Amino acid sequence: MDLKLVKQLAIPSSTKIVMLISDGLGGLPREVDGQSELEVARIPNLHALAARSLCGLIEMVGPGITPGSGPGHLALFGYDPYTYQIGRGVLEGCGIDLEMGPSDVASRGNFCTLDEEERIVDRRAGRISTETCEHLCCKLDQIRIEGVELIVRPVKEHRLVVVFRGKGLSDALTDSDPLAPGQAPLAVMAIRPEAERTAVLVNRFLDQARGALKEEKPANMILLRGFAAPPKLPLFPDLFLLRAAAITCYPMYRGLAKLVGMDALPFCVDLDDELRVLAANYDRYDFFYVHFKATDRAGEDGDFEGKVAALEELDRRIPAFLELHPDVFIVTGDHSTPAVLKGHSWHPVPFLLWSRSCRPNGVSGFTEKDCASGPLARMQAVDLMPLAMANALRFKKFGA
């Protein structure tokens, strides 16, 4: 739905929406019995809830398109993931829970090893330990460049994120990483004229980084790539008139929620912890995004039984969510991660949306086949938030 229309229709209310996102929820049949993870799992609570809910399958981007976590979440939050694309540097920043604002340009980076002639010998500096990375990032974080604020943060092993913060910066920059050994790191260049000043600043930073690291072994330089500014999107709380909170165990998902303007509640360790945080903050917010990771992790590992177990774990917590009496309760995923494919996939994702006035659509269980049997077997994921708003009685009439 057009976000202008969302903004026009949204009205305040005291109703509460809980969106439970089970990462990588959708699956595929395994060979032995032709059943998917959701079909094999004992999930009586989800099946019973589905029978009382609006159910279907959602497509995050389009037919045949496998969404990353970024586009998947944006779509669930109501943003067209094709219109609002999140650049790699920003996504990496989300992954370490960096606070990013509209005047930032973020870049991914690697520590690397240069030889005496400044040619790259190892693009990953022998995959230095995360500890070494932290130590070196600390050093780089002390670099000062006039006209821009610098934030250098470690990710994992040889990976880092650099954020350039300041007015008038642009992300229309080429990479310094030539992506192949044997060459020298490249000077960063402006792709468009408005990025010329940013290119100068980034190259100054890279010069200083070279100086700061020259005695280090093996990580005596960094390579930057994927410069990106946060997407210019209208903020979720303003659009939907919802005080919105994100409850997560992992920085990536918390970072994505912060990008759209949700409040990030303290990190949790597991689903029970998330439920406690949800209950503790229930009065303070109108919308809760709760992220459950285990389904995706098992799927990525190709662990069919593990994904089944994760689904059963999720199912056992469903009554606890319902005991909070949300006005709208949604269970879905940000993409499919079938164990048989060991990764994200393009297959549409089951969803259920319960409210007192949801008009259940005759789907009898919470599996891919059940959800495909109803009339919403091919819904766009961006339509979920408008439906949630309607069911929360938070949308006024369109026209008179």
Q: Interface with its own copies by CB under 8 A: which residues?
A: 1-2, 5, 9, 28-29, 57, 61-72, 81-82, 85-86, 88, 91, 338, 340-341, 344-347, 357, 359-362, 368-369, 372-379, 383, 386-391, 395-400
Nearer of residues 198 and 391 to its own copies, judged by Cβ? 391
DSSP for 257-280? HHHTTPEEPPP-SSHHHHHHHHHH
Shortest CB 312 distance to its own copies, Å:
22
* CA atoms of 236 and 78, how far apart (whole Å): 9
Rg (CA), the chain: 23
Closest approach of its own copies to the CB of residue 272, in Å = 29
Other Cβ atoms less than 10 A from the Cβ of 35: the count is 17
Is 350 strand, coil or helix? strand
Q: Minimum distance from CB of 295 to its own copies (Å)?
A: 17
178: phi then psi, degrees, rounded to nearest 5: -75, -5
CB of 217 to its own copies, least distance (A): 31
Cβ 396 to its own copies, closest distance in Å?
7
Q: Which CB, 51 or 184, lies closer to its own copies?
A: 51
Of the candidates 108, 119, 153, 114, which has an alpha carbon nearest to the alpha carbon of residue 134? 153
CB nearer its own copies, residue 41 or residue 219 = 41
d(CA 202, CA 117): 22
CB of 189 to its own copies, least distance (A): 22
Length of the chain: 400
Q: Is residue 218 reached through a cis peptide bond, with omega within 30 degrees of 0 on the bond before it?
A: yes
**For the chain, how far is it from start to end, CA to CA, in angstroms?**
19
Q: Which is nearer to its own copies, 185 or 251 (by Cβ)?
A: 251
Rounded Cα distance, 219 and 158, in Å:
8
- Residue closer to its own copies, measured from CB, 185 or 350: 350
Residue whose CB is less far from its own copies, 263 or 303: 303
